[in-house]
Structures are given as C-alpha cells and as structure tokens.
Amino acid sequence: MPNTEVPVASVKGPAVVQRLQSSVPEALALLAAMELDVFSYLAEGPLSSTVLASALAVDEHRLVRLLYALTVCGLLERRDGGFANSAEAATYLNRNSPSFLGDLHRFWREIWSADLHTSESIRSGKPGAELDFDAAPDDDLLRMLRATHPNTLRAGRDLLERYDFSNCKSIIDIGGGTGGLVATVCAAHSSVRGTLLELPRTTVLARQILKETAGGERVTIEAGNILERPASGVHDVVIMRALIQTLAGADAARAIANAAASLSTGGHIYIIGAGILDNDRTSPRAAVFMNLTFLNLYRGGASYTEAEHTNWLAAAGCEFRERTPLHNGSIICATKVASVDLQAAT
C-alpha cells in the first residue's frame, strides 16, 4: 500500500468522522418518532412524558430518552407543560397539518436499510439489497407503493408551482407508481386528462390508491413497458419521475426515446429525480449519495449527469430547456422539436 501518512501537526482531530457519526443517531431518532407518530400527538400543545407515554401506550422511561434526543435535534422543545413540537415539526411532521410530509419514514427505512449494503454491493458486483419487483409478493409491492405515494403527490405540487399547465389537455405519467403526480395536476386543472403508464402488475395494485387521490378519477390507467414500446396516444406533456435513475444507460436512452414518441411536437417532457448530477459529478450532494443507494437497489440504476440526459433527449428529438432544482432533486424540462426513427435512436 502507498504511504498515506499525514503529518500529525496538520490534523486537529477526526472532525469529519465525528460529524458523520453523530448525524446517524439523529436521523434514526427522527425515524423512530415518525413511526410512533409523536408529533401528531403533540399537535394540540405540550404534554408531559407521562401523558404522552399513556397516549402512545408505551413505557414512559423508554420514551423519555427519545423525547430528550428529539429536543437536542431541534424537533421538540421543553416547556412548562412538558414537551412540545418545534415550529418545523408542527408544520411538516404532524399528520393533521396541511403541509404534512406524509409517511416518508416508510420510504426512509427502505433506503437507509439498503445503504448498509454498499460495501457488499461493491465487492460482489451486484446490488446487495436489490429491489426485485417481479419477485416481491403483492403485499410488499403495495406497501412500497403506499410508502412512496406522498412523494408522488409532492412532485405534482412541485410541478404546479414551477410550470403552467393551464393550456395542457393531456398528460402522461410514465412509470408513475400510484399516479399521484398526474392526479395532482388533474385536480388543479379541470381541463387536463391524465394517463398513468405502468407495468401490468403495478397498475392493478395502484388502482385503489389512485381512486383515493384527488384528481384520480380523471386519470386513465394504461398497462405497458416503456422499454418495449411507446405508450398509446399522443400527449401534450410527458412526465418521467424517479424512473431514469433506475435504469442502465442504454435502457435510459431507450425509455426517453419511447416516451418522446408519445409527445406531440412542441410538447414538453419533464424528467424528475433525485439522481440528476451536475456534470462534474460532485453535486448536488443528495444526488451523489443517492448514487450509492442506487448501487444497492438496482442492477443498472445510477445518478446520471445533466449532459447525459441532454444527449438522450437530443437523440429522441427533444431540445433541453432548463434544469430546475428541487428540495430533493431536480426537474429537467425539454421540448420536442422533431420526430425521430426509434430504431436509430435506441
């Protein structure tokens, strides 16, 4: 091995190591509190640890350790009446709040568990926590769909905040899981008709969730595989969220080409994901680390650069317009300018 010794005088201590180590217990304390629904029980004001433990039907002496940890994290506050939500917790972690983030802890548990397999995935050359949707029992797949449903709703709101769909008549959400994204856009614009394109098995399980979602009644469900052929019909807008990052490069190019074939000339395609990197591959920070998560979950999935997306879109007859940052990823917007030969593009 090469000599990598660093002069002792230049190192003041393992500050980076300690910072990374301390962030893990904080995240897991948040996870535990969300699973217990602590923040919702504190929605009406401060409660003593005794009263809160009784409401949660748990042991007070065990719960109080978590409450103090959450106080240190800044999610709870100590008050005369006991423990109370911080302003941020009251806004985003109380399920009765209109800004509730949803049951993201279910998604985080899956992701963080997968991240524990990174060294194994690198050594073995295959994902250590592979998501095999074909092999997963229906109950497990339905659980994953419900866990990610809040993310699809939030993605719909993100699009509505940034883009105008008032002149749009038809939107297709390709690989959209539960269809929450396209349903959210339909709910905001009465003139929009939506389509969800998903794998046959997923469409069956997602149907009930979509029925429970505002705007879902105006979404048509189409079973298909975008890697095999374009969707039926032509649409004003194509959305691909959290899909490209699950595919190997050649499959990503094919998926974009087939998606663009269902887009009218002058229409827009939106690619949304946590795995869109700047071209130097060192930012955004979240995309860099999601690249490790994808290593554990998918045989070919990865975070791809803006330039890679731009090249795939150009080959599909779409011109890159802009990339907009999100709190948990990016949106790439492109416009279809020409039709292309699908065989040549893929």
The predicted-structure confidence for 133-185, as pLDDT tens digits, reads as follows 778 888 988 888 988 898 899 999 999 999 999 999 999 999 999 999 999 99
Whether residue 3 is contained in a domain is answered as no
**H helix runs in the chain, sequence order:** 15-36, 38-41, 49-56, 60-73, 87-92, 104-115, 118-124, 138-162, 180-188, 200-211, 249-260, 285-297, 306-315, 342-345
178 & 311 share domain: yes
For residue 333, the tally of other CB atoms under 10 A from its CB is 19
**Could you tell me which of 208, 206, 217 has the C-alpha nearest to residue 175?**
206
For residue 17, the tally of other CB atoms under 10 A from its CB is 9
Q: Are 222 and 195 in contact (CB under 8 A)?
A: yes
The pTM for the full model equals 0.86
Cα 184 from Cα 217, distance rounded (Å): 11
Six token digits for residue 56: 């949660």
Six token digits for residue 101: 């983030």
Six token digits for residue 49: 């640890």
Q: Look at the chain and report how many structural domains it folds into.
A: 2
What pLDDT sits at residue 10? Answer: 67
144 & 212 share domain: yes
What pLDDT sits at residue 215? Answer: 97
Average pLDDT over residues 88-95: 96
Lowest mean pLDDT among 16-25, 114-123, 222-231: 16-25
Last residue of a domain, one of 77, 101, 125: 101
Last residue of a domain, one of 101, 126, 152: 101
Domain extent for 40: 9-101
Q: Are 45 and 85 in contact (CB under 8 A)?
A: no
172 & 63 share domain: no
